[in-house]
Homo-oligomer: A and B are copies of this chain.
C-alpha cells in the first residue's frame, strides 16, 4: 500500500451533546456513535475535547475520583474500537514531579485499547475559560500513525495562536509539521457567540492553508448552563474549502473522505439574529433537560422582554409546558394585561393572573410605623417587583416549574431591575441580549405570523411601578444606551474614547458609573445564556467593592 494513494480513510465527525459528569450517558452516546460509524465502514471516528466528562467540567476536575472515572470510561469505550479507531477528549494525570496535576488530553483508541495520549499545549485562560486553573500545558507533540497515515492531532486552542493575537509563545503545529503529517485533526469545545462561526472558520482556513493540509474539526453541541456549543464541526481541504459540516445546533454524525475532492463544497451563512434565536432555544432546552425539568414559568408584564422569553421557552419546551403568570399592580395599564394574555393565547399556553395590590397593601399596613412620614419611592416600587418574585417562586416550589428570568443585557448592565424581584429565576434567557436586539428578536420570532402582540413591540418600555413611568425617565434612549454599553463592555473603551466617538460626556459618565456600581446586583443574578463575546457572568469578573469610574 502506497500511503496517500490507495488508502482512503473514511472519517466520522461525531458532533454530540454531552452532559457534564453524566459519564454513563456520555459513554453510551459515544459507544452508539462508534457502532454506527463502524456500520458505515468508517476507519476513524472523532469526538470532541473532554467529551467523556462534558465541557467545561470546571472544579469537578479537582476531584481525583472524577479524573479516575473519566479514564476508566474511556478504557471501556476503547474495548469497542475493533475495526475502527477513535479519538476522544479526556483529562489525564500529569505524572511529572513538577507542574499542574492534570493534562487536557486526547486519547487515540484502536484495537480495543488506549494506544496513545496527546496533551493540549495552549490553555485558554480568559473570558469564560479557566484551563490553566487545572491543566499543565504540554510542550511536546507527536503525530498519530494509523493506516499508513500520520495525523497531526491538536486540541482546540492549540490551533488558535493566530498572528493577529499571539498570546502564547509556543506553537504545537510547528512541532507536528516536522513529522510531515498527512492531515490535521482538531478536537474542540468551542462555545457560541454571534461572531464565533465566522472567526472559527477563518482560523481553521488560515491553518489549513498555512500548513497545506486537510483539517478535520470536531466541536460539541449543546448547552452547559451559560455556555452554548453550536457545533459546526467540519472538514476542510488543504485549500481551506469546506468538504463537509455537521450543521449547527444539532447532534450529527457526518462522514468525510479527505482525499475525495468531488464532494460538494459547503458554506456557512446564517444571519446573526437567526443564530441568537437558535442558540437561546437550545440553551433553554438543555438547561431543563440536563436538570431533569420539563416545565417553565414566566412572569408576563405585557412588555417585550417577557414576551420574547416566553416565546423562546414555548419553542424550546412546548407551549403547553410554559406557564404565563400575569401579576398586575395598580400601575399596570389595561393594555399590558391584554398584551400578556394575547401572547399566551396566541401560543395556547396556560396562564394565572395574580394581582399584587392586596399583598402590597398588607406590607404597607405592617410597615406603617417604620415608614411613617416617608413618601412613595424606590422602596415601594421595588416591593411590587419582589411580591411578583415571591409569587413566581412560590408557584415554582408548589408545581415544579423553573422560573425563567426576563432581564435583558441593557437593564442588567445599568442595574435597572429589582434584586429578588424581576431579577429572580433559574436561568436568564435574554441577559446577554441588549434591548435593541430584543426588539429584533421579537420581529424575527414574528416573521411568519404574529406570536408576540405588535403592541408589546411598539410601545415605549415601562416598568409600570409608579404612575406613567417610562424607562426613558431614568435611562437614555436604548439605541444610545446600547451603543455606549457595547463600547464599554464588549470593546472595553475608556470614557475618553467613547466621548471622542461623539457621545455626550455626561451621558457616558452616568452610564459607566451605573455599570460599575451595579456589580453587586449582577453578582446575584441567575446564570445568563451567553451569545456575545462578553457576557455578564463567568466571562466577566469584576470586583464588587472596587471604585473605578464611579
Cβ-defined contact, A398 with B371, below 8 A:
yes
Closest B residue to A26 by beta carbon equals B547
Q: Which of these, B125, B370, B374, contacts A132 with CB under 8 Å?
A: B125
Interface residues of A in 488-502 (CB under 8 A from B): 492, 494-497
Any B CB within 8 A of the CB of A261: no
Instruction: Pick the 9 closest A-B CB pairs, nearest first.
Output: A21-B548, A65-B494, A379-B397, A20-B546, A420-B420, A379-B398, A290-B545, A22-B547, A362-B362
Any B CB within 8 A of the CB of A480: no
Cβ-defined contact, A100 with B167, below 8 A:
yes
Q: Which of A21, A492, A543 has the largest number of chain B CB atoms within 10 A? A: A543
Cβ-defined contact, A98 with B291, below 8 A:
no
Cβ-defined contact, A63 with B492, below 8 A:
yes
Interface residues of A in 415-444 (CB under 8 A from B): 419-420, 424, 426
Any B CB within 8 A of the CB of A195: no
Cβ-defined contact, B98 with A543, below 8 A:
no
Any B CB within 8 A of the CB of A464: no
Any B CB within 8 A of the CB of A19: yes
Cβ-defined contact, B98 with A167, below 8 A:
yes
Interface residues, chain A, with chain B CB atoms under 8 Å away: 19-22, 25, 54, 56-60, 62-66, 97-101, 125-126, 130, 132-133, 166-169, 223-225, 286-287, 290-291, 352, 354-355, 358-359, 361-363, 365-367, 369-371, 374, 377-380, 382-383, 386-387, 389-391, 393-395, 397-399, 419-420, 424, 426, 492, 494-497, 520, 523-527, 538, 540-548
Given A60-B542, A393-B420, also A525-B524 (CB < 8 A): yes
Contacts of A426 in B (CB 8 A): 520
Cβ-defined contact, B546 with A57, below 8 A:
yes
Cα A526 to Cα B542 with chains together (Å): 14
Contacts of A497 in B (CB 8 A): 65
Contacts of A424 in B (CB 8 A): 419-420
Can you list 11 pairs linking A and B with CB atoms under 8 Å apart? A63-B492, A64-B492, A64-B494, A97-B166, A99-B168, A130-B133, A359-B359, A374-B398, A383-B397, A386-B420, A538-B541
Cα A286 to Cα B546 with chains together (Å): 11
Q: Which of A352, A380, A397, A495 has the largest number of chain B CB atoms within 10 A? A: A397
Cα A168 to Cα B132 with chains together (Å): 11
Nearest-CB distance from A490 to chain B (Å)? Answer: 11
Cβ-defined contact, B58 with A225, below 8 A:
no
Cβ-defined contact, A542 with B59, below 8 A:
yes
Closest B residue to A288 by beta carbon equals B545
Nearest-CB distance from A186 to chain B (Å)? Answer: 21
Cα A482 to Cα B152 with chains together (Å): 49
Contacts of A63 in B (CB 8 A): 492, 494
Cα A56 to Cα B380 with chains together (Å): 36
Closest B residue to A290 by beta carbon equals B545
Contacts of A64 in B (CB 8 A): 492, 494
Cα A544 to Cα B538 with chains together (Å): 12
Contacts of A291 in B (CB 8 A): 520, 544-545
Task: Given contact pairs A99-B166, A377-B398, A383-B397, enumerate 19 new A-B contacts (beta carbons under 8 Å).
Answer: A19-B547, A20-B545, A58-B541, A60-B543, A98-B169, A125-B132, A132-B132, A291-B545, A354-B367, A358-B365, A359-B362, A361-B362, A363-B390, A370-B395, A377-B397, A379-B398, A386-B390, A386-B420, A390-B390
Cα A114 to Cα B393 with chains together (Å): 57
Q: Which of these, B225, B352, B358, B359, contacts A370 with CB under 8 Å?
A: B352
Given A355-B366, A363-B359, A525-B524, also A545-B286 (CB < 8 A): yes
Nearest-CB distance from A9 to chain B (Å)? Answer: 35
Cα A132 to Cα B125 with chains together (Å): 7
Cβ-defined contact, A543 with B99, below 8 A:
no
Nearest-CB distance from A520 to chain B (Å)? Answer: 6
Contacts of A520 in B (CB 8 A): 291, 426
Cβ-defined contact, A359 with B366, below 8 A:
yes
